[in-house]
Amino acid sequence: MPLETLEQILARAGAAVPGAQLSLVKNDSPCAQHSLAVDVEHAYAVAQFLRDDPQLRLDYCSNVTGVDYLDAELSEKVKVKKLVDGVEKEVEEVKKTQRAGYLEAVYHLYSMALKHGPVILRQRTPGRADPVRVTSLTPLWRSAEFQEREVFDLYGVLFDGHPDLRRILMWDGFKDYPMRKDYVEPDDYEYEPTPHDEVLARAKAHQAAQEVGA
């Protein structure tokens, strides 16, 4: 477990990296693993602080993953005072707010030296429209390299500063990002453009020319 609370880490990180927009993301589940959201511009500096700070020493980045949130209508119940038949009453109303969708890169950080953790770091993008960019943390932790590639491959998040951002699980010619929530499956799963198509087309043209010649 971390030596200090996430609020304290947030305050110290905010002081160490001026201008960083840090916020606490609450987690309602019983395990209460709250996380730290950071803006994309200052993510690298904040992550470097988390890694090098002698009290934290989060030298081990265990897990990197992406999360996709679609545009959503959030509804919450609010109690409002209203005049009903001339009498003021408290009535429950559903208040609706629009939330713009966003993508997220989540990092689970632990310390092997001090054996505590996790401190969870989230980078949120402003929107879902391509290109979606966040800052790569691979220069700080090697373990992020292949996992960030996977997030790019499946979610289409571009990591600025990544040394080798290529597809890793899907093939190179693949166009879409299959883990996004609005991904539509193709009609033909088997279709894959290959150089073989060109060869077939050439063979067809060749046969046609020969038939004309005969």
Partner 1 sequence: MDAPANRTVQSVGQGREGELLEVAMGPQHPSTHGVFRMDVVLDGETVVKLKPVFGYLHRNHEKIAENTSYLGSMPYTDRLDYFCSLSNNWAYALSVEKLAGLQVPERAEYIRLITAELTRVLNHTCLAGFLLQDMGALGTPLMYAFREREKILDLIESLTGARMMCNYMRFGGCRCDLPPGWLDEAKKVVAEYPKFLDEFDALLSGNEILMARTQGVGKLSAELAISAGITGPMLRASGVDYDLRKVDNYGIYSRYPFRVPLGDHGDVYDRYMIRMLEMRESLKILEPALNDIPDGPVVDPKAKLRGFRPKPGEAYGRIESPKGELGFHLISDGSPNPYRYRVRPPSLINLTILEDMCLGQTIADAVITLGSVDIVLGEVDR
Residues within the interface to partner 1 (CB under 8 A): 27-31, 33, 59-63, 65, 67, 106, 108, 112, 115, 118, 120, 141-143, 145-147, 154, 167-171, 178-179
* 132, 52 contact by CB (below 8 A): no
Residue 23 phi, psi dihedral angles, 5° rounding: -145, 160
| In the complex, minimum distance from the CB of residue 169 to partner 1, in angstroms, rounded to a whole number | 4
- Is the Cβ of residue 12 or residue 183 nearer to partner 1 in the bound state? 183
- Is the Cβ of residue 48 or residue 63 nearer to partner 1 in the bound state? 63
Q: What is the DSSP letter of 26?
A: -
| In the complex, minimum distance from the CB of residue 45 to partner 1, in angstroms, rounded to a whole number | 18
Closest CA to 179 of 157, 148, 154: 154
- Is the Cβ of residue 142 or residue 196 nearer to partner 1 in the bound state? 142
Close Cβ partners of 96 (under 8 Å, ≥ 6 residues apart): 73, 74, 75
| In the complex, minimum distance from the CB of residue 184 to partner 1, in angstroms, rounded to a whole number | 13
Helix (H, G, I), strand (E, B) or coil at 158: strand
| In the complex, minimum distance from the CB of residue 158 to partner 1, in angstroms, rounded to a whole number | 20
- Is the Cβ of residue 14 or residue 168 nearer to partner 1 in the bound state? 168
Structure tokens at 88: 């003021």
Cα gap 44→181, rounded to integer Å? 27
